[in-house]
Amino acid sequence: MKFQRIKAVAKKEFLHVFRDPRSLGLGIAIPLILLFLFGYALTLDVDRVPLIVWDQSHTSASRDFISRFAGSRYFALQGRADSYREIEHAIDRREALIAVIIPVDFAGRVASGRMAKLQVIVDGSDSNTATIALGYAEATALSYSQDIAVQKIRRSGVIPPPPLLDVRPRVWFNSDLLSKNYIFPGLIAVIMMIIAALLTSLTVAREWENGTMEQLISTPLKGPELIVGKLIPYFVIGILDLFLAVIVGEFVFAIPLRGSLVLLFGMSVIFLIGALSFGMLISIVTKSQQLASQIAMVTTMLPAFLLSGFIFPIENMPLPIRAITHIITARYYVVILRGIYLKGVGLGVLAGEAGFLTVFGAVAIFLSIRKFRKKI
């Protein structure tokens, strides 16, 4: 390969990108839009759960119990109900996700030390959110019950016994348990995978459809020189996207970067080469921009969102699906980004993922060069 020929192809591709606002927008504007859109909209945190209460007791004890919910950051008291019909109406209109019904004899049972039964109604349309909200309600009720028991013991003049277990939890790596710290690194991987493959999936196919491939074939340009030259502009755009993503994560979303920035960009270079080469391979095989873009979306967007561990834990997937995830490059890049961002781990821990991305990139480049033929 000759550097001058590669430089000429790269210059030609750069000119095309800058002259085509759509390509430039696809390469730079869309990743930023997706980062802001998903960064603000996508969250796994369940708090401020809308709550309504049907207080049949109307006593100081029931009001104290309700205050436990109203004072918690996990619940937002939306109002009160006086019947099951009102509860059903509130849940149907999505004004409440959970309802607590306090019976008439609540205060009497609490005062006498007997078990007081409560009813909790949860909208199970979203099973995950309903399960978490129900857990919050049970924890609030348990805390209230323990406080009442301790108060009764103290009033009797007896010193409460110490707890049998003294649990002192400590959260590593994401101490505030913010889902954005977990989502954002994976979001970078998904966006980079989609954009990289989409950008290069149109390059060679565009040459065939525009009729300019015949001119390139007639030149002394070799296949590897053409492919490498076409990859360079989009590689630069990919690195620029990564740089902007890191800036947005640092100064907009305050995502902690505990690891090495050099390692982050080094691993991203390996991933980008593989993703861009895969898009190039699609473009060479299909020779159609429309078909290439459709195949690129199906083979990058869906696997990156669903099978990379970005949102859905791979450990919870059926065994055949888990086996398929081992060939999804975004899976390994997600692990790398989260390891660098949240845990600050180095290459010694991420060597397996880095090795897979390196092999994938080499195979993708080899197949692209092998499939490209300088003939009509």
Query: CB of 271 within 8 A of CB of 357?
Result: yes
Using the predicted structure, report yes or no on whether residue 148 has a pLDDT greater than 90.
no
pTM, rounded to two decimals: 0.82
Which neighbouring-strand residues pair with 76? Answer: 50
Cα–Cα distances (Å) from 231 to 46, 204, 277, 279, 323, in that order, read 43, 11, 8, 10, 31
Q: How far apart (Å, rounded) are the C-alpha atoms in residues 229 and 239?
A: 16
Using the predicted structure, report yes or no on whether residue 173 has a pLDDT greater than 70.
yes
Confidence of residue 356 (pLDDT cuts 50, 70, 90): very high
Query: CB of 31 within 8 A of CB of 245?
Result: yes
- Average pLDDT (42-62) is 88
- Average pLDDT (244-270) is 92
Using the predicted structure, report yes or no on whether residue 217 has a pLDDT greater than 80.
no
Mean pLDDT of the chain: 86
Using the predicted structure, report yes or no on whether residue 152 has a pLDDT greater than 80.
no
Q: How far apart (Å, rounded) are the C-alpha atoms in residues 156 and 203?
A: 82
Q: What's residue 338's pLDDT?
A: 93
Closest CA to 306 of 340, 336, 334: 334
Q: How far apart (Å, rounded) are the C-alpha atoms in residues 294 and 197?
A: 11
Closest CA to 129 of 72, 37, 50: 50
The residue to which tokens 């095309």 are assigned: 16
Cα–Cα distances (Å) from 285 to 194, 201, 270, 361, in that order, read 18, 10, 23, 17
Q: How far apart (Å, rounded) are the C-alpha atoms in residues 302 and 309?
A: 12
Task: Determine whether 328 is exposed, middle or buried from the number of CB atoms within 10 Å of its CB (0-12, 13-18, 19+).
Answer: buried
User: Which tokens belong to 215?
Assistant: 């001119």
Query: CB of 77 within 8 A of CB of 99?
Result: no
Q: What's residue 160's pLDDT?
A: 66
> Which run of H or E residues covers position 324?
helix 319-325
Most confident of 78-82, 290-294, 367-371: 78-82
Beta strands (DSSP E) in 219-375 are none
Q: pLDDT tens-digit profile of 109-145?
A: 888 878 888 999 999 988 888 888 999 999 999 888 8
Cα Rg of the chain, angstroms: 29
Q: What's residue 337's pLDDT?
A: 94
CA 233 to chain centre: 28
Q: How far apart (Å, rounded) are the C-alpha atoms in residues 57 and 71?
A: 20
Name the superfamily (CATH) of residues 49-155. Answer: abc type-2 transporter like domain (3.40.1710.10)
Which regions of the chain carry the CATH code 3.40.1710.10? 49-155
Using the predicted structure, report yes or no on whether residue 263 has a pLDDT greater than 90.
yes
